[in-house]
Structure 1
Amino acid sequence: MQSIYKKIEYTMAKNRYASYIHPPYELESKLVHSIQQLDTDTATNILKKINSLERAQLSKHPLTSLKYSIIGSCTIFTRAVIEAGLDTETAFILSDYYINLIDDTSNINALENLEYFMLNDFINVSKRYKQYFYNPLINRVIEYIKKNIETPLTLQEISSIVSVHPNYLSAAFKKEVGKTLSDYISEVKISAIQLYLNNTNLSVTEISQIFNFSHITYFSRFCKKHMGVTPKDYRRQALISKVSL
């Protein structure tokens, strides 16, 4: 098998002979920055400038080569929104969705247009779901809470995960987010419970067990306190709303 180093040198020589050079990293950096700033117009213009240059040949087949290139764009967009504060699960769901769309598209013009739709959606999803713009410590805490919301979470556990004193974390979180860590955990837990109530056929008892409530009564009280209604009433009202739409 040809050495990867020889392959790199050969490709460099071939690209220079053909006057092909990959788009400057400066443009990619500007694209990432504009995505993180949720600036759709600037991001679109930079992507157009990048695409006005010759694309790398990633396959002998033009359609396949373009698919690889746009999957590369998808990876860049995904990392950009994650670094800007979008939770990883949302970012990867969107990434998986578009990679499947790219794979299913068999027309070059449609693929080229798809890249711009993809860029738009990454920015729009970030605008809708990006809920925190805090310092790296608080962002890590929020990310941990969202990933582990189905388990009981304590200040001591979370402070240990991020390697700071519980008192420091408690004060820093309240200062940055404007609410206590306990209140924030309850908000995220309620949002997750509502997702289960709205989108699954699991019983209220089964959902309470998923969230580790020791008794259905405690679960109902928790929901009533934070939603204003019991989980059964919430599900009933949600079903009525769906039927009326």
Structure 2
Amino acid sequence: MIRILIADDEEIERVALEKILTTHLDQVEVVATVGNGREAIEKAGGLKPDLLLMDIQMPGINGLEAIGQIRERFPTIKVVIVSSYDTFSFAQQAIRLGVKDYLLKPSKVQVIVETIWKLCEEIVQERSRLESQEEADNRIQKALPILESEFVSRLLFDQVQEIDLEEVSTLMKVAVQPPASVIVVSLQLREDWDQQDRSLKNFMCEMQAELRGRDDMMVGSVSGHILPLLFFHRKGEERRLIGKMMEQIRRLGCRDPRLHIGLGVGSAKDGLDDLRISYQEALMACSDLGMGQGYRIRFYDDLSQEHGEDDKRLWYERKLIEALRHERWQDTKEIIFCLLSVMEQKQTPLEEARQRLYGHFLLLIHLLEEVGVKEVPAHILLRGQSYMELWQEARVKMEELDVAYQRFQKNAQFDAFDQVKKYIEEHFMEDLSLEQLAKFVQLSPFYLSKCFKEEFGISYVDYMTQCRISRAKEYIRQGGLSFKEIAYAVGYHDPNYFSRVFKKTCGLSPSQYRDKK
């Protein structure tokens, strides 16, 4: 129903207008009739009508003054002046106030009905547009966490197109501008922690939601007990801001004293392409935290300064990251033992050596999980009271990881990437995330993204875009659907974004493509 408020100082006019409207227009409801401008202002505030029929000359506040105050508070209310005055000055003021039409008394019933009917149709169309926009906004809001995690994963493990940066920056309300650092949040498990305890997963989800409220950060997907973050900041301010962020996490985690949280912070990068390096540095910084308790922060820049660029341990840790990234498992095993050998040669205190080795194994476990290795040991307990005992423990733990890795290699589905490709072709119109695709073939998101591109020479996101644009072309050639309907049909939440992607892919806008065909 269209809600109408009538304001006229002559009761006979109010009654006549209400009678005409309710008799000839089924879709209207006269919510109130008033006799002066002040009452009109009060009723408009309480009843919020869609349409206001206003006389000009009324006692107290006149119609034009009342319209000005009402439109200032409720700019969507449409106004029609109903008056016996037709002077040019009144018409000028009415135009400035955004009045939609002017009915001169006395008006014929047909003129009144046609004028109001036209405005009712306009209101209905605007409602429909607003509802469609609200529906689109709701879709986008529901998809934002997925899009954000997806963007972080692609930035750390894949490539991001310029159009993505523009769109993500707008949608997430985050200034995606370098310099930026990668932060790795690591939850360390106490020895007595029940692996089936859902409180850990619940905490990670709560932390994701909490950090997504920041305008200087983008939150990735949880992998094991690791959560990657993209942190955009001014150089020189990162330590102060990250310290505040740790306080935010501490307040969230204080409910469970079993939580031990470490932040590893990679160095600031001026180019987004270098954030993969910052991610590796953050993992190394995280591993350097060792087995400590509480809430701790480690900056990769401090490692370089403390140990020097020529420090053997730091050099081996970098080699460890590189070997894991390129799946050189044999090299990885050798580097772990080289790291232990360096610490023994330098006569590193045993407690410090245990903590560093513990950190290396945590890093190893996390990166194996990223690749897709299942059933890796959840706890790494190192209790050796001598380097000889520490060597024995390290060999046992490495053997456990080696067994898990070899089992993964043996059971790998070599047709998994063809399955993913086919799945994308059949489901591209849905909200497909990297995590969803990885779960479909039981691989890790990172491993799937990396291998899909190696196998087909194109990232899974770009392939999904190809499928969507190809189907969109078919719909345009067939006709019958608006561009907005086509955008939703092929999987886009925002028709404007669809148009930009279409033009970037095809060199033509959707309308240009339609006209050409």
In the superposition, the TM-score normalised over structure 2's length comes to 0.20
In the superposition, the TM-score normalised over structure 1's length comes to 0.40
Query: In terms of Rg, which structure is larger?
Result: 2
The structure in which a higher percent of residues are strand is 2
